[in-house]
Each structure stands twice: as structure tokens, then as C-alpha cells.
């Protein structure tokens, strides 16, 4: 067994151990909650039902983990099993935290009473009060309902994010030029083709001048996009459709029978980009012309901190006039953080994706948070440093967790304006 495989098994066993301990704790909390219910059958249904459902979710999760390799990656089945386990796991964490706080309070109260009355009668720790279990149920219901909504509705709740950018050196002919960007489609995760079509229709309705896709068309294998080629092929723009590869497109996260099979998969995926009508930019650039003036569109293969680094920015910029207005497509925003913004030839605008905004978080006028911010400095929306801009798309699809909550799937519409 490979060392990585042994480590994964150890981690799985630790997670399962914690899960079963929480099951025991939650079950005892439910016993307290239902202790004075008059109908014995109802008490048994609640207690036994909880154990049955929790056990079945755990079994399905373990089964899904076991079949991941033979399935050649993460399918909707695997994502649903992982997501259900995650929902129940997090719900149990919330339930147990409330219960633990209540039990800690009981213990401290009992110890304090015994210190004050050394000869006192009765148990050291008073019995658990029913209202603590009631609070635990209410608190646990919040993440349960939220994540369940994210799985059933949130992952297809497409939102259009509009941003207008001003540049003093934008060619006059491109004043008002619009770009629709999609990123991280992850077609292997979709489980509702009609819902996906609604998102495609929303992107089509923007009627932008240019369409760009910034990587991760699939989870791992080229065949994942095949049922959706006709649908995503509907995305057309007067100045063309351009795409790049993301880290998942190289097939690095599953085991292949041979290196040749992996290479063939990548070649097939490139053919699918062509079938979609997308010009795949592999460390290269094209000139977009309008009204006798030009801007340069640069496409870089994946380069990311902690991920595959095959992109060659210098190669991609070969032949680009230093004075040209430049837009770069690069999947991972860390490429902008570490390379693009420091390049000797200024690149005006970089479009990325990759982070998904963790598919979970809070975005309001006053609060913006996602756990992904502990990994990525720039994880969603617009960033600028001087005259250089980065826009990070929150992703059209989803991966691993079959849902989105708070960070909804995004269709980006950028308008370029000339600053007078």
C-alpha cells in the first residue's frame, strides 16, 4: 500500500471514530429529550430512527470512499454521499457543543455545591436538564437546514455579478466592450441538466461582446463534459469564445492505467473545447480587433501555488506589443499574486477562478467571509494594485460538496470603459 493510501485510511478511521463518539453523545441527548414522552413508540422511533439514519449515511459514505478509485474520480453519487455525511457530521458537532456546554455547567455546579457543602447528599453531577437537549436540537437544525438548502437549491442559484472597469489607455473602439466570464464548470458534478441550462441561458442573455472560460471544465475525465457539449456550446459572442485549462483538467487527481491513457484524456478534453466552439489558449495569445484597433487576449495554462505549475507566462506573451491593452486568462489567482502583477510588461486585467469561494460563506454589504480566505488572499471578486486588476470568479459549478451556501454560482459580466 502506498504511504498516501495508508495515511488516507488513518484519517478516515479517525473521522469515523469521532463520528461514532458524537453519535453516542447525541443519542444520550435524545434520550433526555424524549424521557418524559408518554408514547413509548414515539420515543423508540426518534431514538432508533436517529441511529438508523446516521448509520446508513456513514455506511454510504464509506462505500463511496471505497469506490472512488474504481469510478475514476468523483461522480455525483460520491459527492452526494460525502455531502450527506458532511451535513450530518456538522449538525452533530453543533448539537454536541451545546450538550457539552450544558454538561460542563452541570459538573461545575455539582463540584461547587460539594465544596460548599462537603457532606451534602445526592449525586456529584445533577441530571441533565431537558431544555439543554431542546436547545441542542434547535442549534443543530440551523446548519442542517442551511446545508440541505445549499444541496437542493443553492448550487444552481446562479447570480450575475457586474463590474465596470476604467482604463486610461483602453483603445477608444473598445470603450463599453463587455466580457462574460464563466469558470470552474466541473461538469462531472452536475445532477440536474435543466438547472444547468438555466444558468447557461442566463449567461447567453448577457449578450456580451466576448465570452471567456477560465478553467476546470471537468473534475478529472474528458467524458464528463460530453453530455453538456451541446448546452455549453450555445454560448457564443461576436468576438469569440476563448478558454484555458484549470488544475482539474489535467487528470492529476485519479489513477490512470498508464501515463499514455492520462495524456490521451487530456488530448480528448482539448478536442471537446473545440467541439464547444471555444478557442483553447495554451500559453499563447490572440489579438482582438475592433474599429481598426486591437487588444491582446493572453491564455496561460494552469499555474498555482500548491498545484500544478505548467503555465508559461513569458511564452504566452510572445509577440504581444508592450504598449497593447492586455487581458490575461489564468485559472489560479495565486498566479496573479506571485507572477502576473510583478511582470515587467504590465497586464491590465487578469481573469481567474479556482477558489469557488469554498462554496460556503457570507457576503453582504458589511461582511464578507469564507473559510477559503485562510488559503487564498484573493478568493472572489475584484482586486487591484495600481493599474493592474484581478477578477476572481466564484465558479459556475461545484466540487466535493454537492451544494453552495452563501457563495452562489457566478456569471461574471465585465464592462471595459475608457477613462477620459
Neighbouring residues of 6: CB distance < 8 A, sequence distance ≥ 6 = none
State the Cα–Cα distance between residues 324 and 345, nearest whole angstrom.
10
**In a shared domain, residues 192 and 317:** yes
Residue 25: give the domain boundaries.
3-152
**In a shared domain, residues 145 and 163:** no
- pLDDT, residue 386, reads 87
Of 137, 152, 167, the domain-final residue = 152
**In a shared domain, residues 231 and 258:** yes
Average per-residue pLDDT in the chain?
93
Region 143-169: mean pLDDT is 97
Of 152, 170, 205, the domain-final residue = 152
- pLDDT, residue 131, reads 87
Instruction: Pick the more confident residue, 64 or 364.
Output: 364
Q: Are strands 177-182 and 210-213 parallel, antiparallel or unpaired?
A: parallel
**In a shared domain, residues 182 and 142:** no
What are 400's three cell numbers? 466535493
CATH of the domain at 269: 3.60.21.10
Burial letters 138-150, b for 16+ CB under 10 A, else e:
ebbeebbebbbeb
Residue 360 has pLDDT above 80, yes or no: yes
Q: What is the 3-state secondary structure of 160-211?
A: EEEEEEEECCCCHHHCCEEEEEECCCCHHHCCCHHHHHHHHHHHHCCCCCEE
How many structural domains are present in the chain?
Answer: 2
Supply the pTM of this predicted model: 0.91
Residue 123 has pLDDT above 70, yes or no: no
Q: For 74-87, write each residue's pLDDT tens digit.
A: 789 999 999 999 99
**In a shared domain, residues 81 and 211:** no
Q: For 34-49, write each residue's pLDDT tens digit.
A: 988 989 899 999 999 9
Q: For 389-410, write each residue's pLDDT tens digit.
A: 999 999 999 999 999 999 999 9
**In a shared domain, residues 297 and 208:** yes
- pLDDT, residue 174, reads 98
For residue 299, list its beta bridge partners: 284, 329
Residue 318 has pLDDT above 60, yes or no: yes
Q: How far apart are the first and last CA of the chain?
A: 65
Q: What percent of the chain has pLDDT over 90?
A: 81
**121-130, 227-236, 269-278, 307-316: segment of lowest average pLDDT:** 121-130
**60-69, 144-153, 165-174: segment of lowest average pLDDT:** 60-69
**In a shared domain, residues 173 and 75:** no
State the Cα–Cα distance between residues 319 and 296, nearest whole angstrom.
10
Note the Cα 337 to chain centre separation in Å.
20
Of 152, 177, 208, the domain-final residue = 152
Find out whether 209 and 177 touch, Cβ atoms under 8 Å: yes
**In a shared domain, residues 130 and 204:** no
A 10 A CB-CB count for 375 gives 13
**In a shared domain, residues 272 and 257:** yes
- The strand ranges marked E within 268-322 are 279-280, 284-290, 293-299
State the Cα–Cα distance between residues 27 and 48, nearest whole angstrom.
9
**In a shared domain, residues 139 and 236:** no
**In a shared domain, residues 229 and 132:** no
- pLDDT, residue 1, reads 42
- Residue 219's pLDDT band, with cuts at 50, 70 and 90, is very high
State the Cα–Cα distance between residues 149 and 76, nearest whole angstrom.
17
- pLDDT, residue 87, reads 96
Residue 228 has pLDDT above 50, yes or no: yes
Q: For 76-115, write each residue's pLDDT tens digit.
A: 999 999 999 999 999 999 999 999 998 888 777 677 766 7
**In a shared domain, residues 18 and 94:** yes
State the Cα–Cα distance between residues 411 and 268, nearest whole angstrom.
26
Amino acid at each position: 500500500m502506498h504511504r498516501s493510501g495508508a495515511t488516507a485510511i488513518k484519517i478516515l478511521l479517525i473521522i469515523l471514530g469521532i463520528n461514532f463518539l458524537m453519535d453516542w453523545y447525541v443519542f444520550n441527548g435524545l434520550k433526555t429529550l424524549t424521557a418524559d414522552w408518554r408514547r413509548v413508540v414515539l420515543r423508540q422511533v426518534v431514538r432508533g430512527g436517529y441511529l438508523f439514519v446516521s448509520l446508513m449515511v456513514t455506511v454510504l459514505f464509506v462505500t463511496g470512499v471505497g469506490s472512488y478509485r474504481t469510478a475514476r474520480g468523483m461522480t455525483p453519487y460520491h459527492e452526494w454521499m460525502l455531502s450527506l455525511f458532511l451535513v450530518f457530521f456538522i449538525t452533530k458537532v453543533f448539537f454536541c457543543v451545546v450538550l457539552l456546554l450544558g454538561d460542563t455547567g452541570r459538573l461545575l455546579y455539582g463540584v461547587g455545591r460539594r465544596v460548599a457543602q462537603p457532606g451534602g447528599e445526592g449525586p456529584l453531577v445533577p441530571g441533565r436538564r431537558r431544555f439543554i437537549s431542546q436547545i441542542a436540537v434547535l442549534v443543530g437544525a440551523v446548519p442542517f437546514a442551511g446545508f440541505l438548502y445549499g444541496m437542493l437549491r443553492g448550487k444552481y442559484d446562479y447570480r450575475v455579478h457586474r463590474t465596470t472597469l476604467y482604463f486610461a489607455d483602453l483603445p477608444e473602439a473598445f470603450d463599453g466592450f463587455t466580457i462574460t466570464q464563466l469558470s470552474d464548470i466541473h461538469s462531472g458534478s452536475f445532477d440536474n441538466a435543466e438547472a444547468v441550462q438555466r444558468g447557461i441561458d442566463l449567461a447567453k442573455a448577457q449578450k456580451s461582446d466576448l465570452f471567456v472560460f477560465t478553467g476546470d471544465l471537468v473534475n478529472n475525465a474528458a467524458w464528463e463534459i460530453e453530455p453538456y457539449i451541446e448546452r455549453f456550446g450555445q454560448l457564443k459572442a461576436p468576438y469569440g469564445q476563448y478558454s484555458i485549462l484549470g488544475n482539474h483538467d489535467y487528470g492529476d487527481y485519479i489513477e490512470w492505467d498508464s501515463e499514455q491513457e492520462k495524456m490521451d484524456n487530456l488530448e480528448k478534453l482539448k478536442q471537446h473545447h473545440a467541439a464547444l466552439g471555444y478557442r483553447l489558449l495554451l500559453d499563447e495569445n490572440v489579438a482582438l480587433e475592433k474599429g481598426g484597433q486591437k487588444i491582446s487576449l493572453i491564455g496561460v495554462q494552469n499555474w498555482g501555488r500548491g498545484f500544478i505549475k505548467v503555465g508559461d507566462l513569458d511564452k504566452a506573451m510572445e509577440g504581444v506589443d508592450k504598449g497593447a491593452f492586455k487581458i490575461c486568462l489564468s485559472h489560479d489567482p495565486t498566479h496573479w499574486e506571485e507572477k502576473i502583477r510583478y511582470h515587467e510588461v504590465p497586464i491590465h486585467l487578469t481573469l481567474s477562478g479556482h477558489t469557488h469561494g469554498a462554496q460556503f460563506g457570507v457576503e453582504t454589504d458589511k461582511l464578507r467571509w469564507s473559510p477559503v480566505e485562510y488559503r487564498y488572499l484573493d478568493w472572489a471578486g475584484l482586486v487591484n494594485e495600481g493599474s493592474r486588476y484581478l477578477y476572481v470568479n466564484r465558479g459556475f459549478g461545484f466540487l466535493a460538496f454537492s451544494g453552495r451556501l452563501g457563495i452562489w454560482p457566478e456569471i461574471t459580466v465585465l464592462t471595459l470603459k475608457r477613462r477620459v
